Structure 1
Amino acid sequence: MPSDPAEPRILIPQNLSPNAIASRLADGRIVAIGGRTMGTTWSAKIVAKGELPGVEAALQALLDRVVDEMSNWEAASNVSRFNRLAAGQWQTLPPDFFTVLRRGLEIAAASHGAFDPTAGALVDMWGFGPAPARLEPPADAEIATALAATGYRRIELDVHARRARQPGGVSLDLSGIAKGYAVDLLADFLRERGHRHFLVEVGGELVGDGILPDGQPWWVDLEAPPGLRVAPARIALHGLAVATTGDYRRFFDHAGRRYAHSIDPRTGQPVENGVAAVSVVYRRCMDADAWATALAVLGMEAGMTLATEQGVAARFITNEGGEAFSPALAAMLD
């Protein structure tokens, strides 16, 4: 008999630590702060015994730093300046930018190009970047031109000098990984300052650590597309991150067809594989962010195969409301 769609499935990470329970602040309270960044909102819930002066401003400054370095919407950002470089030129990158680009290229290789941080020309061409939104799909010749400017293998990194080489015409787009990295930055900041119990979020991507004052973990429902009858999947987010990507977030309709923002960097076309959303649970939100994008591009069959091979904990939801858990996520079912 099928389960009641209203009844949540409970996911318990296998790394729940007795130390978290022992260190809980039973006399603490949740301090909630937040703001806006990257065209969306951010929030932090921190268990503390009193007010936290200066923390909100410090977290906002970290997010502003990510925007200044990695936003394609900012002409003066480091990534925009890299994209304007002439062929063969090198650019020294700030530590955050270099970390994100390096990890993005690694996941690009591991996903066989399903995630590709060099797909900026394709994203812009389809109207999902800083360029004006489109009302109709581009011509085949436009797609071919953008594809010729795409390819993670074309980027050369100098790890010792922390710099990258522009091969000519490549447009980096880190939007599929930078937001997750920003969440990691917030979590790392709090840990470094002795906060052991918190939940931080940017645009629906989250990192949780520790527990609530009453001893309960941070319970988070994996995001599901609106309008689909899918039983909630609720995870105790303890020392883990979760990110979701879906074809319902940004799109345009033309001639009876929907073109979603998820672009396959290998073909230059919006994804049409029946997958409505993919959620990934991972140690770092940066990785969860990029893997969710890669698996959504690959689709249910190829994505599940790769998630199984890589040990990625993922939930796939189809346009018809079907779902599947990768082995790593299924192992968390209570």
Structure 2
Amino acid sequence: MIPRALTPAAFAGRGARARIESFSGETMGTSWSLHAVSPPAATARRVQAALDLVVAQMSQWEAESDLSRFNRAAPGEWHEVPGELACVVEAAREIARESGGAFNAGLGRLTDAWGFGGAGPVGQIPEGDDVLASRTIDFDPATRRIRRTGGAALDLSGIAKGYGVDLVAEWLLGNGVRHFLLEVGGELRGEGIRPDGQPWWVDVEMPPSSSIAPWRIALHDLSVATSGNYRRGFVADGRHYSHSFDPATGRPIVNGVSSVTVLHRQCMMADGWATALTVLGAEAAIALADGQELAACVVAGDREYLSHGWRAMLH
């Protein structure tokens, strides 16, 4: 798959003798890696610092993160949050609105109860959880303040990793690094091209139970994120429960979708939309992707569903 347009700026500052340097580290319970053409000396340190900032603001697993302290505060009170966290909350609310509520950043109590949050695994189906409780996160963009209802707790695990990719990418671009491939826990963003003139080729991860061949994508000024129900979950009484929740029912999804991959200029939006589309079921997800002009691929069993935007990149 190839983007429909090649940015002329992609060739700026690139030469056949330019070197690719590679860096890696750990963040958000996973790993990160970067392949960059002629990066500055401080690159590894600055990448780690940017990702550490995301953890410090948005982690459910860090007790003193801004998100965790907000979730411990009394509901109904407004709290000013840092700009980066406010940016992600605003994007999450946009996706929630455009998806008809398929994305909900207020499910933190549910994800904890089912063992997918900061409280750790539970290995059993929770009892007595009020699935009809309000899970609303209000946001005032003018003052960068948020508040929650009593049944809500902020959970940005379906979008924050993608934002971390974007935050690092913007630092790289702002410091003259025009050609790179960046990955954080399977979410990727590619800018420019390699010194040999090739784009940054990546293979889309497919569910291990699927016989569908993986797609190969040229990440030229483009991001890709995949939401897979096979990645996390637990088995109770012989049944597998996914970590993806349907906000309408307050329970793990059972719609047959095993993975959703979305391509977008911003990795944060690719990440969030992949999460939202997973909830809807294959046909509804593709219909929404077409309506939002998203390039999306939905896998359900051994069947593949492709949006118009995805198909356009095949020509």
The verdict on a shared fold, with TM-score over 0.5 as the criterion, is yes
The answer to whether 1:260 aligns with 2:248 is: no
Map of 1:210 onto structure 2: 192
Secondary structure of the residue aligned to 1:196 is coil
Q: For the residues of structure 2 that align with 1:137 and 1:168, how far apart are their CA atoms?
A: 22
Query: How is 1:184-199 mapped onto 2 (pairs within 5 angstroms)?
Result: 184-199=166-181
Offset, 1:167: 3.0
The answer to whether 1:299 aligns with 2:287 is: no
Offset, 1:22: 5.2
The answer to whether 1:332 aligns with 2:289 is: no
Q: For the residues of structure 1 that align with 2:300 and 2:152, how far apart are their CA atoms?
A: 33
Secondary structure of the residue aligned to 2:262 is strand
- On the 8 A contact 1:121/1:149 being kept in 2, the answer is no
- On the 8 A contact 1:155/1:166 being kept in 2, the answer is yes
In structure 1, what residue type is equivalent to 2:117?
A: G
- On the 8 A contact 1:122/1:265 being kept in 2, the answer is no
Query: How is 1:253-292 mapped onto 2 (pairs within 5 angstroms)?
Result: 253-292=235-274
The answer to whether 1:148 aligns with 2:133 is: yes
Map of 2:227 onto structure 1: 245
Map of 2:303 onto structure 1: 322
Say which is worse superposed, 38-47 or 163-172, in terms of deviation.
163-172
Query: Residue by residue, what CA displacement relative to the aligned partner does 1:89-132 show, whole Å, maximum 9, x if unpaired?
Result: 11111000000001101101111111111111111111111123
- On the 8 A contact 1:209/1:238 being kept in 2, the answer is yes
- On the 8 A contact 2:232/2:243 being kept in 1, the answer is yes
Secondary structure of the residue aligned to 2:5 is coil
- On the 8 A contact 2:283/2:305 being kept in 1, the answer is no
**Which runs of 5 or more structure 1 residues have no equivalent in the other structure?**
1-10
What is the identity percentage for the equivalent residue pairs of Structure 1 and Structure 2?
Answer: 51
Query: How is 1:159-238 mapped onto 2 (pairs within 5 angstroms)?
Result: 159-238=141-220
Secondary structure of the residue aligned to 2:259 is strand
Q: For the residues of structure 1 that align with 2:312 and 2:284, how far apart are their CA atoms?
A: 20
Candidates 51, 64, 72, aligned match of 2:60: 72
**Which runs of 5 or more structure 2 residues have no equivalent in the other structure?**
none
Taking structure 1 as the reference length, the TM-score comes to 0.91
Map of 1:82 onto structure 2: 70
In structure 1, what residue type is equivalent to 2:3?
A: P
The answer to whether 1:62 aligns with 2:44 is: no
Map of 2:115 onto structure 1: 127
Please, what is the CA RMSD of the aligned residues? 1.3
Map of 1:19 onto structure 2: 9
Offset, 1:55: 0.9
- On the 8 A contact 1:88/1:167 being kept in 2, the answer is yes
- On the 8 A contact 1:85/1:166 being kept in 2, the answer is no
- On the 8 A contact 1:122/1:147 being kept in 2, the answer is no
The answer to whether 1:309 aligns with 2:299 is: no
Q: State the number of aligned residues.
A: 315
CA gap of 1:277–1:129, structure 2 versus 1, over 3 A, is: same
Map of 1:97 onto structure 2: 85
Q: For the residues of structure 2 that align with 1:98 and 1:146, how far apart are their CA atoms?
A: 26
Secondary structure of the residue aligned to 1:215 is coil
Say which is worse superposed, 269-278 or 16-25, in terms of deviation.
16-25
Secondary structure of the residue aligned to 1:175 is coil
Q: For the residues of structure 2 that align with 1:186 and 1:87, how far apart are their CA atoms?
A: 33
Q: For the residues of structure 2 that align with 1:147 and 1:220, how far apart are their CA atoms?
A: 41
- On the 8 A contact 1:93/1:164 being kept in 2, the answer is yes
CA gap of 1:149–1:73, structure 2 versus 1, over 3 A, is: farther
Offset, 1:24: 2.4
Q: For the residues of structure 1 that align with 2:264 and 2:272, how far apart are their CA atoms?
A: 11
Map of 1:136 onto structure 2: 124
Candidates 1, 6, 18, aligned match of 1:28: 18
Secondary structure of the residue aligned to 2:258 is strand
CA gap of 1:147–1:127, structure 2 versus 1, over 3 A, is: farther
